[in-house]
Structure 1
Amino acid sequence: MSQTASVWLVVALAFLAANLPFLSNRLLAVYPLAKPKMLAVRVAELVFWYFVVGAIALFLEQRVGQIAPQGWEFYAITATMFITFAFPGFVYRYLFKHR
C-alpha cells in the first residue's frame, strides 16, 4: 500500500470511528445495552476509537518506514481533528428531531 493510500485510509477510518458512537446505540457498535447510551458513554467510546485509529495509523506508518517522533502538539491536533470529525454524528444524535 502506498503512503498516499495509507493516509487516506487513516482519514476515512478516523471519520467513520469518530461518528460511530453517535450513530449506534450499541456499546462499541457490538454489545446491545438495556438503556440508551448517555453522553458520557459516547465520549468514552470516542476516546477509545481515537486510540484504536491511532494504533492503526502507527502500524501503517511503521510499514512505510521509520516512525516520526511526535510531541504533545501532534496529539493535541489529532484529538481536535477527531472531535471535529465527530461533529456530524453529534448533530444527528442530539440536534436533529427524530420522530
Structure 2
Amino acid sequence: MDVGASSWLVILLALAGANLPFFNDKLFAVVALKGTDMTDKPARARKPLAVRLGEMAVLYFLVGGAAILLEGRIGGVFPQKWEFYAITACLFIVLAFPGFVARYLYKPRR
C-alpha cells in the first residue's frame, strides 16, 4: 500500500471511529447494554454521554495504533511528542461532530 492510500485509510478509519459511538446504542457496536423501563421490565438501555466519550477515547487509541502499523509498513515510524497527540485528539473530536449533531442536536419534524 502506498503513502496516499495509507493516509486516506487512516482518515476514513478516524472518521468512522469518531462517529461510531454516536450512531448506535451498543457498546463498541457489539455489546447491547441492558436497562429497565418504568415498569421494571428489561429494556434496551441508551448509552450515556460519558460512556460514548470513553468509547471515543478507546477508538482514538485503536485508530492511532492502526496508523502506527501502516506507517511502519511504509518505512520508519517517526517519534512524536505531546503536541502531535494533542492535535490528533482535537482532530478526532472534530471528526465526531456529525455523529454528535445527529444524536443530540437534530430534532426530526413531527
TM-score band, normalised by the shorter chain?
Answer: over 0.9
Q: Aligned AA for 2:19? A: N
Larger Rg: 2
Q: Does 1:94 align with 2:107?
A: no
Runs of at least 4 residues off by over 4 Å? none
Give secondary structure in 2 for the equivalent of 1:92.
Answer: helix
What are the ranges of 5 or more consecutive residues in structure 2 without an aligned counterpart?
A: 35-44
The correspondence for 2:50, drawn from 35, 40, 44, is: 40
Q: CA RMSD in A?
A: 0.9
Q: State the TM-score, normalized to the length of structure 2.
A: 0.88
Alignment of 1:45-64 (within 5 A): 45-64=55-74
Would you say how many aligned residue pairs link Structure 1 and Structure 2? 99
Aligned equivalents of 1:93 and 1:26: distance in 2? 14
Q: Does 1:85 align with 2:92?
A: no
Q: CA deviation at 1:16?
A: 0.5
Aligned equivalents of 2:56 and 2:76: distance in 1? 28
**More helix per residue:** 1
Q: Deviations over 1:38-82 (max 9, x none)?
A: 000000000010000000000000000000110001000000000
**More strand per residue:** 2
Identity of aligned residues (%): 56
